[in-house]
Amino acid sequence: MFAFGSMQRLVDKAIGEMAEEKVCARIWSRDHTVWKPQPEEIANRLGWLTVAEVMTGEAERLNALADEVRAEGYTDTVLLGMGGSSLAPEVLRKTFGVKKGYLDLAVLDSTDPGAVLQIAEKLDASRILFIVATKSGTTAETLSFFKFFYNWVSQAMGTERSGNSFIAITDPGSKLAELASRYKFRATFVNDPEIGGRYSALSYFGLVPASLVGVDLHRLLANAQTMVRRSGPSVSAQDNLSMLLGAAMGELANNGRDKLTLVLSRGIEAFGDWVEQLIAESTGKEGRGILPVVGEPLGPASMYGKDRLFIHLRLEGDDSNDSALKALEKAGHPVVSLRIREPYDMGGQFFLWEMATAVAGHRLGINPFDQPNVEAAKVLARQMIQEYVENGRVPEEEPALSGDGMEVYGDIGADSPAGALGEFLSAPEAGAYVAIHAYVTPTPENDAALQGLRMKVRDRTRLATTVGYGPRFLHSTGQLHKGDAGGGLFIQFTCDDTKDVPIPDEAGSEASELTFGVLKAAQAMGDRRALLDVGRRVIRFHLGADVAAGLEYLCRAL
C-alpha cells in the first residue's frame, strides 16, 4: 500500500521517467550510466543482482559445515566483523533464533573493552567457532578481534588446534585469506568480489552464519529469487515493487521528505539495523542523502515535521501500528505499508531493499555503491594511534566545562552540562536531525538509557533522531553523517573503561603496543574531528565511569 497524498504526482512522474529511460532493464544489463558516466565502483559492484541463484548451489556445502561442527561439539559461534559483514547475520539470528541442536550466534562489532570481555568471560573457548569476516581483509577492528581471540583460544587449547576454531569469509587474495592459510583455519569462503559489503546479505557473509544457527537456506533463497523475478527487466515499472519503492524513496527525498522512518512488526524489528546501513551508506554523499530512522517509537502526528516518509514492514496478523499510521496518513504524511507473510520473506526483503536503494540512488543522482567519506575518520584515528605508539598517550583537548560527574567538549557558552545540551539543541535549522553516538559498552542498561534520552530529544525538538554505538555506526551511518547536506546535530558520548584489553601485535604473540580502549578512544576522536572538518555541529560528553548515571542526568535535564 502506497499513500503519498499530495506527493503522488511526483512519484508517478518519476516512475514514468524511469519506464521511458528503461532504468530497470539497464540495471539488469549492468549499465553503469544509470548512475554515473564512468564505471568506477559501479560496474564491478553489481554481483548482488544474481547472488541468490548462485548461492542456492552452495547451500548444501554450508549445511555440511554446520553438521560437521555440531558433530564435533561446538555450541556457539562468534562473528568478528563490522558493518556489512555483521549486520545481516545479526538480523537472521534475532529473527529466527537458534534451531535446536545448532550453534548460538553472537556478533562482536565493538572495540569497547567491555564488549570484548563479554565474549571472553562468558563462553567456553573449546566450544566456540569464530567467523572472521571482512571483505577487504584489512578492517582494523576485525583483525584486532582475530588476534585477541586467536591467542585466547591458543591459551585454552594449544596452538596446534587453534586454527580449527576459525573460519574466514573474505574476498579473493585478501590479507585475511593469507592469514587463514598461515594459521590453518578450518575453512575459508571466498566471496564474489563484485558484491559490496552492504549488498552482501545473500552471499557467504550472510549465509555462512545463518547455516550455523539452523536457518533453512533453501527456503530463504527461494523467497529471494521470487522477489528477483518480481523485480526483473520484463516487469513494467508500474508493477515492479522495487522500482516503486526506490522511486518513492529518491523522489520524496529530493522534495524534502528525506527522513525515512521505518516501522517494523515485532519479530522482524532487527531488520531495521540492516536497512539503516544499506540506505545511509548508499545514499549519503555529494551533499544529498536519505536518513533512515530506526527504532524510534511512533508518536502523534504533531511530533513530526514535513521531512518524514513512513515505511511500515508489517507481519501478517499484526495490526499494532495500523491506527497510528492511518493517523499520520490522514495528517498528510506519506506512508508505505509492505506486508510480509512470514519471517522467511526476509530473503525477498533483502533483495527488494537492495534494488530499491540502487534505484533511489539513480533518482538522487549519486553512486549508491561507493563510500567516499568513510576513510576520513579512519585516517584521523590512525594518526592518533600513531601518536599513542610514539608518545604513550592519545592526543586530548581541554574540556570546555566540567561538572556533575562529566566533562563537555565543544563550542559551548553554558555553565553546566545540562545547559550545554539544551543550548546545543536550541534553534535547529529546518531539516535537521539529531544523531547520538555512544562510545560505551553495549548493554541492555545502556540501550534503555540511550533510548530514553533519544525520546526526550525527539519530543523536545520534533526532529528525527538516531542512536548508534561506536565504532559500529562508523561502518553503517558514518558515511551519511559526513556526506549529506549537513543538517545533523551530533551528540557524542565517551567514558572511562573500567577494564582494558591488550591487542596482540600479531596472532600468537604476547607483544602489544595497543589496547582496545585506546583504539576506541582514537576512533571516537577521529570521527569527531572528521565531522568538524566538514562543518558539522558536534558536542561531546565524557561520562566518566558511570555511564548510566550520566545519561540519566542528561535525560532529566531535558
Residue 223 in domain: no
Tell me, yes or no, whether 22 and 57 share the same domain.
Answer: no
Q: Are 350 and 201 in contact (CB under 8 A)?
A: yes
Cell 545533523, residue located = 488
Task: Give the residue from 364, 383, 418 where a domain finishes.
Answer: 364
Q: Are 333 and 38 in contact (CB under 8 A)?
A: no
Q: Are 381 and 518 in contact (CB under 8 A)?
A: no
Instruction: Return the pLDDT at 338.
Output: 97
Tell me, yes or no, whether 251 and 278 share the same domain.
Answer: yes
Tell me, yes or no, whether 378 and 524 share the same domain.
Answer: yes
Q: What residue type is assigned to position 416 of the chain?
A: S
Could you give the CA distance from residue 263 to residue 275 in angstroms, rounded to a whole number? 12
Residue 7 in domain: yes
Q: Locate 514 and state its grid cell.
A: 595497543
Residue (of 140, 226, 153) closest to 185 by Cα position:
153
Domain count within the chain: 3
Task: Give the residue from 324, 346, 364 where a domain finishes.
Answer: 364
Residue 232 in domain: no
Tell me, yes or no, whether 276 and 247 share the same domain.
Answer: yes
Residue 346 in domain: yes
Tell me, yes or no, whether 292 and 351 share the same domain.
Answer: yes
Could you give the CA distance from residue 242 to residue 244 in angstroms, rounded to a whole number? 5
Residue 44 in domain: no
Tell me, yes or no, whether 53 and 25 share the same domain.
Answer: no
Tell me, yes or no, whether 206 and 63 share the same domain.
Answer: yes
H or E stretch including 401?
A: strand 401-403
Q: What is the pTM of this model?
A: 0.96
Tell me, yes or no, whether 107 and 128 share the same domain.
Answer: yes
Q: Are 149 and 501 in contact (CB under 8 A)?
A: no
Tell me, yes or no, whether 482 and 387 share the same domain.
Answer: yes
Instruction: Return the pLDDT at 123.
Output: 93
Instruction: Return the pLDDT at 431.
Output: 86
Instruction: Return the pLDDT at 427.
Output: 83
Instruction: Return the pLDDT at 489.
Output: 97
Instruction: Return the pLDDT at 541.
Output: 98
Q: Locate 464 and state its grid cell.
A: 528525527
* Domain ranges, residue 406: 374-557
Tell me, yes or no, whether 99 and 207 share the same domain.
Answer: yes
Tell me, yes or no, whether 155 and 265 share the same domain.
Answer: no
Residue 159 in domain: yes
Residue 39 in domain: no
The neighbouring-strand residues paired with 76 are 104, 128
Supply the Cα-derived Rg of the chain in whole angstroms: 23
Provide CB contacts within 8 A for 179, sequence distance 6+.
Answer: 132, 137, 143, 146, 168, 185, 507
Cell 566540567, residue located = 402
Residue 456 in domain: yes
Could you give the CA distance from residue 373 to residue 324 in angstroms, rounded to a whole number? 37
Instruction: Return the pLDDT at 429.
Output: 86
Could you give the CA distance from residue 206 to residue 191 in angstroms, rounded to a whole number? 11
Instruction: Return the pLDDT at 15.
Output: 96
Instruction: Return the pLDDT at 521.
Output: 96
Residue 272 region by backbone torsions, left for phi larger than 0, else alpha for psi between -120 and 50, else beta: alpha
Averaged pLDDT, groups of 10, the chain, 558 residues long: 93 96 97 98 97 97 98 98 97 97 98 96 95 97 98 94 96 97 98 97 98 98 98 93 97 97 96 98 97 96 94 95 95 96 97 98 98 92 91 88 95 94 91 96 96 96 96 95 96 96 97 96 96 97 95 93
Instruction: Return the pLDDT at 392.
Output: 86
Could you give the CA distance from residue 135 to residue 271 in angstroms, rounded to a whole number? 21
Give the CATH number for residue 486.
3.40.50.10490
Tell me, yes or no, whether 156 and 250 share the same domain.
Answer: no
Task: Give the residue from 334, 364, 394 where a domain finishes.
Answer: 364
Instruction: Return the pLDDT at 391.
Output: 87
Long-range residue pairs from 335-338, CB within 8 A, at least 24 positions apart, any chain: 335/1, 335/3, 335/310, 335/311, 336/1, 336/2, 336/3, 336/245, 336/248, 336/309, 336/310, 336/311, 336/312, 337/1, 337/311, 337/312, 338/245, 338/311, 338/312, 338/313, 338/314
